[in-house]
Structure 1
């Protein structure tokens, strides 16, 4: 017999005694979560949650790199590669060092590099190592300063020093070349090079002695190259001459004759002394055709290989320090002279005479000037003096 089930009476549901037993039927059920698992000491570190690893290390790395990036940039600017303080002290000096000096040269006067290297290698010249600081050895001085302090002409290639000056400083042999006209000559301290001349007989007997050599970098700037000796090299062969560019041949032919506009006059005078008569136009033109003589090997360009055998560090220091003092004293002297001239009042012919003296060389003396091939040419500086009404100049 089937047992019938009846729903519970509402009075039973509201009974306070039996109410707790029926609460689960009406109260919502909450999900039960298991307690966190405890980690024992025997468990490996891999069991640690990955999120905790990221929170512990990633944050530290990011803050460290961001904080040090700007700081490392500032340190890199102030420090040279290395850890010592001495290197950081050398950094400001390195920024002031003068880089390679590049003077203005005439490219048409350059000999082909194969011929230059051949002549230097035959002599066996090697570069001389200069140990002086770059900033100091790349400091030029003026030619006028060298002439006034050490003696000799300020325009000659081989200035002759008086015995009185030699007794003062003991330096009797000097040489100066213009890199614009002699681009194959040494242009960097200690380097070998080639010096050209139209005739080897023009050189002095003591040309092979060691000399203090200077190269002209720019106007009024001469740089000490070192102490050099010269070796007579094989002149430029006919085949080598013809191998050069036409600009090179044309440049040296014109340079050998110094003044192009006076070539015909010089040729005419020379032929007149030989022929004992007035030369014809064809004879003058034949004498002027020097290019054919070079092309046929009748005339060759002489060359001297210049080798650096030493570098006088004390001389360069002496030049740099003395040049600075010389410029200061010269500037002070000019200021004092300007004040004296401004305080004096001149009238009439006296004022004109003083103006004429300032425009011309003192005492009207002749002065020597070197041309492109370093030959000394005498040129007169004319003094124009005007007379007065009472004393007219005839």
Structure 2
């Protein structure tokens, strides 16, 4: 399928070169099948019907019954809306972005992931087995150097999407209780119950400001094909 990447969401060339290096940008893992087969896309419901797992999660885990049947718990689904530099061809390198701190001990990072990327509507293409390696973060300077559309896209997602809840709550706690306040697990649990009301009370600018002043950091995970 034709790759649908919004040009206004692309990060600066300077940051990409710093994060991936020329070697990483130009790396190609050999794919021993024809392009017609390698570039075949599938809908997310179709994949979920066959193997289980959420239709929306980036790293879904199938149900115990499905895992008992196929044993595959290594899925990654990257969306170009928030990861415009994800691999767009099988075997290509790329970047995955996360609003959470990169942790080398994260269990999902220990083994290659069965990685799909959404290249067009209902077209998720299998890129191969990729290892996600914690990479560089966007410094406050690098964050401010990105286009306003990039910052707005992330702020909108973090404010309104389920995957942004933890970041949103951290920003909300600092806004309501002071920048030095360190919320506990119980605080997060209690606040999650009222997440809809908290979203209404917060703005995209609150999120942008948290990254601008360095209270929050956008991290990269280098997507490296290994199989």
TM-score, with normalisation over the residues of structure 1? Answer: 0.44
Q: Are 2:60 and 1:159 equivalent residues in the alignment? A: yes
Query: Structure 1 293/146 Cα, relative in aligned 2: closer, same or farther at 3 Å?
Result: closer
The structure showing larger relative contact order (alpha-carbon pairs under 8 Å, at least 6 residues apart) is 2
Larger Rg: 1
Say whether 1:133 aligns with 2:34.
yes
Q: Can you list the C-alpha shifts for 1:242-276, whole angstroms capped at 9, x where unaligned? A: 222222223222322226xxx9x97997479748x
Matched residue count: 198
Q: How many angstroms apart in 2 are the aligned matches of 1:206 and 1:215?
A: 21
Corresponding position: 1:199 with 2:134: no
Which of 124, 147, 164 is equivalent to 1:245? 147
Q: How far 1:102 moved relative to its partner?
A: 2.8
Correspondence 1:312-331 to 2 at 5 A: none
Partner of residue 234 from structure 1, selected from 136, 150, 159: 136
Displacement of 1:116? 1.4
Q: CA deviation at 1:230?
A: 0.5
Which of 161, 166, 180 lines up with 2:81 in the alignment? 180
1:147 counterpart = 2:64: no
- Single out whichever of 300-309 and 142-151 deviates more from structure 2: 142-151
Distance change in 2, residues 1:105/1:124 (3 Å) = closer
Say what the alpha-carbon RMSD is for the aligned residues.
Answer: 3.4
CA distance in 1, matches of 2:204, 2:139: 22
Q: In structure 1, which of residues 104, 114, 124 is the aligned counterpart of residue 14 of structure 2? A: 114
Rate the CA distance shift 1:133–1:285 in 2: closer, same or farther, 3 A: closer
Partner of 1:127, secondary structure, is coil
Flag the 1:250–1:180 CA change in 2: closer, same or farther, 3 A: closer
Structure 1 residue matching 2:47: 3-state secondary structure: helix
Instruction: Rate the CA distance shift 1:255–1:268 in 2: closer, same or farther, 3 A.
Output: closer
Corresponding residue for 1:308?
Answer: 225
Return the offset for 1:236: 0.6
Residues 105 and 181, structure 1, Cα contact 8 Å, conserved in 2: no
Given the superposition, is the C-alpha separation of residues 170 and 266 from structure 1 closer, same or farther in structure 2, using an over 3 Å criterion?
Answer: closer
Within-5 A mapping of 1:1-394: 101-121=1-21, 126-200=27-101, 205-208=106-109, 209-258=111-160, 270=173, 274=177, 289-310=206-227
Unaligned 5+ segments in structure 2 are 179-200
Distance 1:268 1:196 in 2: 19
Give the structure with the larger strand fraction: 2
SS at match of 2:153: helix
1:206-228, CA deviations, whole angstroms, 9 ceiling, x for partnerless residues?
22121111111222221111110
**Residue ranges of structure 1 left out of the alignment (5+ in a row):** 1-100, 276-283, 311-394
Answer whether contact 2:172 2:202 (CA < 8 A) is retained: no
Question: For 1:118-153, what per-residue CA distance to the aligned partner results, in whole angstroms no more than 9, with x for missing partners?
Answer: 212399573211121111111112222221222222
Aligned to 1:370: none
